[in-house]
Amino acid sequence: MNPPTAQHADVHTVPVDSDVHIIDIEINSDNIDKSEKNQTNSEILVDVEGEIINGWSRTRAKACPWSRPDALEEQRGLVGMPPLWRRIRHNCRVPPGARRTTMNSKQKPVNLADVVAKAHDTFNRGVTRPIEWRRQQLQNLMRMYTENQNAMVAALAKDLRRCKMEAVLLETEYLINDLKNTLNNLDKWAEPERPSKGFVNMLDDVVIYNEPYGVALVIGAWNYPLQLLLLPMAGAIAAGNVVVVKPSELAEACAQFVAEMLPKYLDNDAVIVVEGGPEETTELLKQKFDYIFYTGGTNVGKIVYAAATKHLTPVTLELGGKSPTYIDGTVDIEVTAKRVLWGKFINSGQTCIAPDYVLCSKEVQEKFVNAARGVLKEWYGEDPQKSPDLCRIINSRHFREKPLTLYVFSTRKDVVANIVDNTSSGGMCVNDTIMHMGVDTLPFGGVGSSGIGAYHGKTTFDTFTHKKSCLVKNFSPIGEKLGSLRYPPYTDKKLNGITMLMAKRSLPSFKFLPYLLTFVLGAGISYGVFTWQKVKK
């Protein structure tokens, strides 16, 4: 499917008064091919609106679809509304041509209660617990990625008109590298942890066992339909869970790819794909899961959270949010403009951590706008409709009180530290955009309205893992003598003894005490043997 045509791309400043300016970055679609009009009527509009806030110029970028068919407007109750309100209402609606469900009409109805019950039975039989089973499934998943990379790129192009470079870097290679990291570290991540212990437990064994939750539900999103579904799914498998995955129905080609390929490569009893739209998702949420991982909008996130509370099910909610970008006068404006616009324009701004508005001085604003004009012309040319590097808009997101990401462009450490200390966001990136997502040692997640929990790298494994604490005591006479102070009859002497044993001290950890004692004992024996031989001579 070809994208809507675009006549121009430009950045321009419109003065409102002496202090307030509006900066527009637009890619207009005025000439849509009539043969495509019934398939997609989404214009690509990216605009940046500025206003003065506490002495700073605030620039907000938005990517939104609009110009819907009259029939769709009538269906959604939009007829008669002012054009502005119609555009606002359209921002969070399903695009024309997108089906509400990916389930084929020829498919037999699926009893989701039975599906989830069988998933619990699979977990209870211990199928997913062995490390070797997990490793085999992850290796099979790696084969799926490598053997079907072209098909994945094609599905992304069909759903989003994603160019090959973005599809490979942001989805397929991203998934492959994350899976390599998991396979390389699986044994270490899964082994029991032995934390430090205090004096009172120096003769005991203190252990944290990493055990799977059980049956995990992973609900994907439309904007990165493969990465946001398959990455947490791989983490859930690595942790030993049975996984039910629900791909987004709005990215139909990717949902079809997942539904067709996962059963060919993975254990069908332990990894189950549920296709469908809101009705199927609603029915899924009525079932009891041991963990729910959801990526999407806040409104649906609240529904997922409410459904989870009925069964006290733990959740991770990746909800996104508008991400502010601070720019001061110390930075290289040309480089900054490229990094900000790249972060905004990849996937046509349909990225939960895309930079959305800029906070800067008026002087920086003028320099940034001029630089941005040149960058856009360099990247997309005089006529962006001929550029193969622009995606198609499916949907857009709304402002969040606490963003998923905050961007800061400054070479002054005190400025960066001040913003870090006095703002709240899921994460931060300094002097670049988006790139922090590629650091698998950094947890990725939101705070407040932008989400609950985190994942990526080992954090994904930990997200789907229950940390089961265990204290293992022995029957040594010394340990029992110390422990007997807790037994009746109680006396002040016993109380003082217990208090002394339990007191926290600034001493080295006893974690390596057995090794230290062994070393000291060995050194003592060696010294004794050496002394005895010397005396004997």
Kindly report the three-state secondary structure assignment for every residue of 131-166: HHHHHHHHHHHHHHHHHCHHHHHHHHHHHHCCCHHH
Amino acid 375: pLDDT: 86
CATH number at residue 164: 3.40.605.10
Of 65, 58, 49, 51, residue with least CA distance to 20: 51
Amino acid 473: pLDDT: 86
Please indicate, yes or no, if residue 14 is contained in any of the structural domains: yes
How are strands ordered across the β-sheet holding 56-64? 9-15, 21-27, 45-53, 56-64, 355-360, 323-327, 405-409, 427-430
420: pLDDT strictly greater than 60: yes
Strand ranges for 229-380 from DSSP E: 242-246, 271-273, 291-295, 315-318, 323-327, 355-360
Q: How many domains does the chain have?
A: 3
CATH number at residue 361: 3.40.309
- Give the C-alpha separation, 284 to 262, whole Å: 19
Please indicate, yes or no, if residue 176 is contained in any of the structural domains: yes
Are 277 and 375 part of one and the same domain?
Answer: no
Predicted model pTM: 0.73
Q: Pick the residue with more confidence: 535 or 182?
A: 182
**Per-residue pLDDT reduced to its tens digit, 343-373:** 888 776 677 878 888 888 888 998 999 898 8
Are 139 and 238 part of one and the same domain?
Answer: yes
Is 318 tagged catalytic? Answer: yes
Are 395 and 425 part of one and the same domain?
Answer: yes
Model confidence at 35, pLDDT cuts 50, 70, 90, reads: very low
Are 214 and 353 part of one and the same domain?
Answer: no
Close Cβ partners of 391 (under 8 Å, ≥ 6 residues apart) = 160, 161, 162, 163, 166, 347, 348, 350
- Give the C-alpha separation, 278 to 282, whole Å: 6
* SS3 category, 99: coil
- pLDDT (mean) for 180-185: 96
- Give the C-alpha separation, 168 to 162, whole Å: 10
Amino acid 221: pLDDT: 92
| Half-sphere exposure of residue 26: CA atoms within 13 angstroms, side-chain side | 13
Q: Pick the catalytic residue from 43, 171, 280, 318.
A: 318
Amino acid 435: pLDDT: 87
Percent of the chain with pLDDT over 70: 73
Where is the domain boundary, 446, 467, 488?
A: 467
Instruction: List the domain range (segments joined by +) for residue 283.
Output: 131-194+202-319+460-467
Where is the domain boundary, 430, 451, 483?
A: 430
Q: Pick the residue with more confidence: 131 or 106?
A: 131
**Per-residue pLDDT reduced to its tens digit, 218-246:** 999 998 999 999 999 999 999 999 999 99
Amino acid 390: pLDDT: 56
| Half-sphere exposure of residue 147: CA atoms within 13 angstroms, side-chain side | 11
Are 245 and 209 part of one and the same domain?
Answer: yes
- pLDDT (mean) for 32-60: 32
Are 296 and 330 part of one and the same domain?
Answer: no
- What 8-state DSSP symbol labels residue 479? H
- Lowest-confidence range among 76-80, 377-381, 461-465, 532-536? 76-80
Rank 102-106, 290-294, 450-454 by mean pLDDT and report only the highest: 290-294
Are 277 and 341 part of one and the same domain?
Answer: no
Please indicate, yes or no, if residue 108 is contained in any of the structural domains: no
